[in-house]
Copies of this chain bind each other. A is one copy, B any other.
């Protein structure tokens, strides 16, 4: 059974795109903060590479805390938990990188994620977004799940252009090169900060 988009009405929840042996699917990346000492906890039956994406995302945010008007101390005073639901399904690979980055940026800033938005892309420590595979399958899954906008790496543009126009009708694509663009596109304007 394919997952359906579900209003992300809590900060920290972001919709990603996954590509499995049985086709594309959407998945949710959830993060939450509690009082703590900077510990990162990862759950959801994640493989090593996917766990590394979370580490990169968190380290990157620490090094660029000014982008979200965060004080450096907040990273030492909170424990971070990232969960990817559907624990029965093992998950791996680097393609949830920008989704994890967005989830953490949302949790730390208290800014929610735009509705009906999904994304997929590898992240780096220098702020670049890298292309990922399975674009066609991911996009079809996004459409079925009622996604309206998708963020992809600029270098994945050619993969979208190869898809029959009908299949992508009604979808708006954002092609990005830098991780900062993802955050700016994905997060709603700040209203009342939560943490």
Interface residues of A (CB under 8 A from B): 6, 8, 10, 12-13, 28, 30-35, 41, 43-45, 48-49, 52-53, 55-56, 59-60, 62-63, 72, 75-76, 79, 81-83, 85-88, 93-94, 97, 122, 124-128, 130
Give the secondary structure class of A's interface. mixed
- The 6 A-B residue pairs whose C-beta atoms are closest, nearest first, are A87-B94, A30-B125, A43-B52, A83-B125, A34-B62, A49-B87
The complex places the Cα of A56 from the Cα of B128 at a distance, in Å, of 27
Picked from B30, B41, B49, B126, the residue with its CB within 8 Å of the CB of A12 is B126
Closest chain B residue to A44 by CB distance? B52
Q: Which B residues touch A88, using CB under 8 A?
A: 49, 93-94, 122
The complex places the Cα of A8 from the Cα of B127 at a distance, in Å, of 11
Q: Which B residues touch A97, using CB under 8 A?
A: 87
The complex places the Cα of A56 from the Cα of B30 at a distance, in Å, of 11
**Are B44 and A13 in contact, with the CB atoms below 8 A?**
no
